[in-house]
Amino acid sequence: MNRALTVARHDLVWLRRDPAPVITMLLTPALLMFFIKPLYVGALDRLGYRGVNGAELAVPGMTVMFSFFMAGLVTESVFREHGLNTWARLRVSPLRDTELMTGKVAPCLVLVMAQSCVLFLLGRVVMDLRVRGSLLALLAVMAALSACVVAFSFLLCAVARTRRQAFAYERVTTLVWVILGGTLVPTELMADWVGSLAGFTPVYWASHGYREVILDGEGVAGVLPHVGVLCGFTVLFVALAVWRFNGGADKQHWD
Amino acid sequence: MTPGPTPGPLPGPTPGLRIRGLVKSFGGRRVLDEVDLVVERGEVVSLLGPNGAGKTTLVSVVAGLLRPDAGSVSVLGTDVVRAPRAARGRIGLAAQDVAVYPTHTVEENLRFFGALAGLRRGELRTSVDTLLETLDLTPLRRRRARELSGGQQRRLHVGCALVHRPRLILLDEPTAGADPQTRRGLLRQVRALADDGGTVLYTTHYLQEVEELDARVVVLGDGRVREDAGVDQLIARYTRSELVLRFSGEAPELPWPGARVAGDTVFLPTDRPGVDLVKAVELTGQDRERLRAVELSRAGLEAAYLELLGAGRDE
C-alpha cells in the first residue's frame, strides 16, 4: 500500500504544478449551475415541489455530470505514463498492477469528493440551496458516486487503447448517461421510454439519491437503495476493468 | 560505485542472467529464435546486431515487459516469468527512449523510483545523493527535468534505472544522442557497476563503446546468437591488420598471401606487423625507390562486426 501512496502522491504533485484541469472542473459546473438554476423553477413546480429556487436540481445535476468528467484525470494520468515512456519503467519496478492502479485512481476519489463538497457549498452560500434531508445521507450518495466514478475511470483505462479513445468514451458515455439518467432534465418530464432506460445508468441513481435528500428530506435509510445500486455499478465496472486490463498492452498517448 | 581495476566476471553457480531457449514471435515472425545466453555477475555483455535483430525484444523479455513464447529467463536464479515481482526488484532498465517526469525535479524523479523499489528514508536519501554525485547531477537536483539539456536528461534517465541498486542492469542504447562528455560519464558508470558485482547487458550501435568497456560481445542476427566472444577474439576471428604501402605511381604486385592493390597502394594482411613490416619492404625490391609511406592499419571491432554481418548475409 506504501507504493500505491507513493504513486498517488506523485500524481498529486503533477496536479499541483498543472492545476488547470482541476480548476476547470470546478469553475465550469459552478458557472453552469448558476446560469441554469432559473430554468429549473418551472420544472420543479411541474414535479409538485413548492418553495424552491431551482438550485435543488441545478447543483446536484452539475455535480453528477462533472463528477464523471473527472474520470478524465485518471485516464490522462495513465496514458501520460505511456507517452513519457515511464509506464515500462513502472512495470519493471516491484509495483503490482493493483498498487499502480490504486495509486492512479486514489487522487481522483479524493478530488471527486472535494469537487462535490465545493459545489454543494457554493450552492448553499451563493444560490441559497436548502437541503431538507440528512447531511449524512448526502455524504453517503457523494461517497458512492465518487467510488463509481473512480471505477468508471479504471474501466476506461482498461478498454481504451489511446488517450483520444479514452476521452471519447468518457465524454460520450457520460453525456448519454446524463441525458438518459435525468441529470439535466428530470426523467418524469421526458418520454416514458427514457424513464424505463434511466435506471440502467449510474447517474440516475446518483441524481435521484441527491433529490431524495435535498427535496424529499430523506435520511440515510431513504438513500440506501441509491447507494446500493451505485455500489453495484462500482463493482461491475471494477470487474469489467480487471477482466480487460492488461498492463503489458501497448497504449498510445500522442496519437 | 567508483571506477577501479576490472576484476572481471564472477563465475559461480548462479549467474547474473541465464537465458535458455528463448523464443518470441510477433505475428508469426520469430524475433527471438532459441536464444541461449549466460552473463556472469560482474560482467558487461554488449548486445550487438543490426536494426530488427531482436535486441530490444530480448531486453524487454528479460525485464519482464514481454512474455516469452518458450524458454526461460532467470535473474540471479529467480525466474522472470514465474516470479516476476521477485525478479523485478533486482532489475534496472534504461530503455532507448528517455523516461523521466518533466514536471518533477531531478531529485523527485530519482526519489520516486527509489521509493517504488522499497527504499525508505536514510537508505533512499543516500542512494539518491550518491547517484546525483556519480552522474554529475548534484547542482541540478532541484531543477525540473523539462529544463535539463538532452544529455542531462539522459543521465537522469539512467539514474532512475539505478537508484534502487539493481543487480542486473539493462541498458538499451543508453548513449543514443548523448554528447561525448555524457557518453564518457555513462560508460564510466557502467564499468563501475560491473566492477561492483552488477551484471550489465548493454545494447548499442557505437562499437567504440564496446571496446572501451572491454565487454563480451554477443551478436544477434535474425533472432539468433550469431557470435559470442571477447572483443579481441572477435577481431582475430573476422579481421586481420594490414600493412599499407603507398608508392609514387602505380603500386607493384607483391608475392604476399591475400595482398591487394588499389591504385598507388598495396594492402598486405598481417598477424605480426613488426616482423612482416621488414619482410614487406624487402619484397618491394627495385620499387623501393618509389615507396612513399608504410602504415599499419589495425583491425578494429567495427571491421570485424561488419565482416561478421557480411558473412551472415553470404550464408
B176 touches chain A (CB under 8 A): no
Is residue B306 within 8 A of residue B279, CB to CB? The reply is no
Instruction: Report the amino acid identity of residue B7.
Output: P
**What is the arithmetic mean of pLDDT over A24-42?**
93
B147 touches chain A (CB under 8 A): no
A122-178 tens-digit pLDDT: 999 999 999 999 999 999 999 999 999 999 999 999 999 999 999 999 999 999 999
- Cell, residue B284: 618491394
What is the distance in angstroms between the Cα of B93 and the nearest Cα belonging to chain A?
7
Cα separations (Å) of B303 from B231, B300, B307?
A: 12, 5, 6
- Residue B13 has what pLDDT? 67
User: Which of these three, B236, B264, B282, is where a domain ends?
Assistant: B236
CATH number of the domain that residue B163 is part of: 3.40.50.300
Looking at per-residue confidence, does B12 or B105 come out higher?
B105
- B107 & B190 share domain: yes
- B97 & B205 share domain: yes
Q: Return the H-helix or E-strand segment holding B219.
A: strand B216-221
CB atoms within 10 A of CB B66: 18
Domain count, chain B: 2
- Residue B315 has what pLDDT? 44
In a domain, B303, yes or no: no
Best of A14, A89, A98, A251 to substitute, by most chain B Cβ atoms within 10 angstroms, is A89
In a domain, B191, yes or no: yes
Average pLDDT over chain B, rounded to an integer: 87
DSSP code, position A176: H
Query: In what order do the strands lie in the sheet containing B216-221?
Result: B91-94, B168-172, B199-203, B44-48, B216-221, B224-230
- B154 & B266 share domain: no
- Residue B182 has what pLDDT? 80
Share of chain A above pLDDT 90, in %: 82
- Residue B134 has what pLDDT? 86
In a domain, B313, yes or no: no
Q: What is the domain partition of chain A in residue ranges?
A: 2-244
B130-173 tens-digit pLDDT: 999 888 899 999 999 999 998 899 999 999 999 998 999 999 88
Q: Which of A14, A17, A95 sits opposite B116 (nearest CB)?
A: A95
A contacts of B87 (beta carbons < 8 Å): none
**What is the arithmetic mean of pLDDT over A70-85?**
94
- The string of DSSP codes covering A52-108 is --SHHHHHHHHHHHHHHHTHHHHHHHHHHHHHTTHHHHHHHSS--HHHHHHHHHHHH
Is residue B158 within 8 A of residue B186, CB to CB? The reply is yes
Q: Which residues contact A112 (CB under 8 A, 6 or more apart)?
A: A67, A70, A145, A146, A149, A150
- B75 & B130 share domain: yes
Nearest to B159 by CA among B144, B147, B169: B169
- Cell, residue A13: 504533485
A contacts of B65 (beta carbons < 8 Å): 88, 91-92, 248
Q: Which residues contact B9 (CB under 8 A, 6 or more apart)?
A: B39, B40, B41, B42, B43
B contacts of A94 (beta carbons < 8 Å): 85, 88-89, 116-118
> What residues in chain A have their Cβ under 8 A from chain B's Cβ atoms?
2-3, 6-7, 10, 13-14, 17-18, 84-86, 88-96, 248
B27 touches chain A (CB under 8 A): no
A contacts of B164 (beta carbons < 8 Å): 93
For residue B70, what pLDDT band results from cuts at 50, 70 and 90? very high
For residue B9, what pLDDT band results from cuts at 50, 70 and 90? low
- Residue B5 has what pLDDT? 41
**What is the arithmetic mean of pLDDT over A34-55?**
91
Rounded-to-integer distance, Cα A133 and Cα A212, Å: 8
Structural domain boundaries enclosing B275? 240-298
A196-224 tens-digit pLDDT: 899 999 999 999 999 999 999 999 999 99
ipTM exceeding 0.85, yes/no: yes
A contacts of B99 (beta carbons < 8 Å): 84-86, 88-89
